Amino acid sequence: MRVSVSIELIWRIAAREAIAGEYMEILPEHFLAAVFKFSELPVAALEQLNSEAAHVKELAEEMRGIDEALKQRALDSTELRYKIRARLGKGGAPYSGGQIHRAQSSREIFEQAQKLAAEAESSVFMAIHVLLALLCDPTPLISELLGHSSLERNDTTDEMSVLKIHGRDLVAAVNDGDAARPTGREAECKGLMAILDQVEPKSVLLLTDMKDWAESVVLAFAGGIRDGTFRGRVKRLVDLTGLGPRLKDGTEAMESMIRAFEEATSKEGIMLFVPPILQNPSDGTSHYWADRLKSAVAQRKIRCICRVSEDAYEKWISPDREWRRIAHVMRIHPPDTGDVPSEL
């Protein structure tokens, strides 16, 4: 099992918490404070550094996942960090240099976290696993501070959801104000709603080279689900595009995507916004991601919205009868034209 960069990051933050509090060892409370601090890091600023780097995407996804888990429990991370520091007080062991180690109770939390990751069939050990372990087996102080927010051991199933860890619920994001509902995309949004409001709705391919245009249409659709304008069967729209840069055969990202497909199939009302199909000069006679996605859609494993570039459409989609059978293709126009989207 690979260890995420987030584990090293929260470990360093927890060590600094312990040193500042004059403790000889890193306590579970220090790790909880570190996870809280991790969730507060500026995701947007991180993505601006290098939005296509795999480790940056991974960290951004984890930050959003932990932030969502805290919001669902109405936990104020900043307030709780200060309360933890105040309640722990000074440990009476000023830092004299050298490496600071985990307390035995912290080691046990990490063992529990790794078990949770293994049970979830996760190929990556992440900060969310540490948070869930802390909530499952809280110390007396953590239990007192969190109260009703601690978890029973069998309540972690939903928290370990692949869709929750790697995806972003766009309907919830629009509802909470974490994502602005775009304006000027009413025509495309109505067209998308009409396609998806059918008795047996197909998946939709958004034909455009512009990433922002496709995302604005999808967010407008998420807003329509939220405010009840769309009355079809889709209730959740989960963004999995963060897995995109690493989608190759045999990779952890592809394994996570396959599990996300399986999970989406087992639940009602979920539509996925998946990574785009783009032309790559190295593609030969097949396009791995396009073929994988076509297979999943054809087998009715998922319903999805996917952006496809103009050149990829001409090479992989247009000549393929199966794609034409299983998906609608909608061309996305520039936002200032006001044209009704054309369905190909």
Q: Residue 200's domain is classified under what CATH number?
A: 3.40.50.300
Q: Kindly write down the DSSP assignment for every residue of 201-248, as one continuous string.
A: PPEEEEE-S-HHHHHHHHHHHHHHHHHTS--SS--EEEE-GGGGGG--
Burial class (CB in 10 A: 0-12, 13-18, 19+), 64: buried
Do 184 and 317 sit in the same domain of this protein? yes
Residue 338's alpha-carbon distances to 10, 214, 333, in angstroms, are 48, 15, 8
H-type alpha helices, 120-201: 127-136, 140-146, 156-159, 162-166, 170-176, 186-196
Q: Please tell me the predicted confidence (pLDDT) of residue 48.
A: 59
pLDDT along the chain (344 residues), means of 10: 88 94 95 92 63 67 79 83 93 90 94 86 85 87 75 48 78 77 81 84 91 91 89 87 72 80 84 88 68 88 90 91 92 65 43
Q: Please tell me the predicted confidence (pLDDT) of residue 1.
A: 78
Here the tokens at position 4 are 């995420």
Do 25 and 72 sit in the same domain of this protein? yes
Do 276 and 179 sit in the same domain of this protein? yes
CA–CA separation, 207 and 201 (whole Å): 18
Q: Please tell me the predicted confidence (pLDDT) of residue 178.
A: 67
Question: What radius of gyration, in Å, describes the C-alpha atoms of the chain?
Answer: 22
Counting the structural domains of the chain, the total is: 2
Angle at which helices 28-39 and 127-136 pack, to 10 degrees? 130
Q: Please tell me the predicted confidence (pLDDT) of residue 152.
A: 46
205: which strand partners? Answer: 306, 329
Do 125 and 228 sit in the same domain of this protein? no
3: which strand partners? Answer: 125
User: Which of residues 160, 185, 210 is at a domain's end?
Assistant: 160
For residues 198 and 231, the answer to whether their CB atoms sit within 8 Å is: no
Do 215 and 172 sit in the same domain of this protein? yes
Do 151 and 184 sit in the same domain of this protein? no
User: Which of residues 95, 128, 160 is at a domain's end?
Assistant: 160
Q: Please tell me the predicted confidence (pLDDT) of residue 176.
A: 73
Range of the domain at 232: 168-343
Q: In 3-state terms, what secondary structure has residue 13?
A: helix
For residues 264 and 238, the answer to whether their CB atoms sit within 8 Å is: yes
- Return the closest-CA partner of residue 134 out of 198, 193, 69: 69
Do 185 and 137 sit in the same domain of this protein? no
Do 180 and 78 sit in the same domain of this protein? no
Residue 250's alpha-carbon distances to 123, 135, 253, 256, 290, in angstroms, are 12, 33, 8, 10, 15
Q: Please tell me the predicted confidence (pLDDT) of residue 84.
A: 94
Do 269 and 138 sit in the same domain of this protein? no
Do 214 and 245 sit in the same domain of this protein? yes
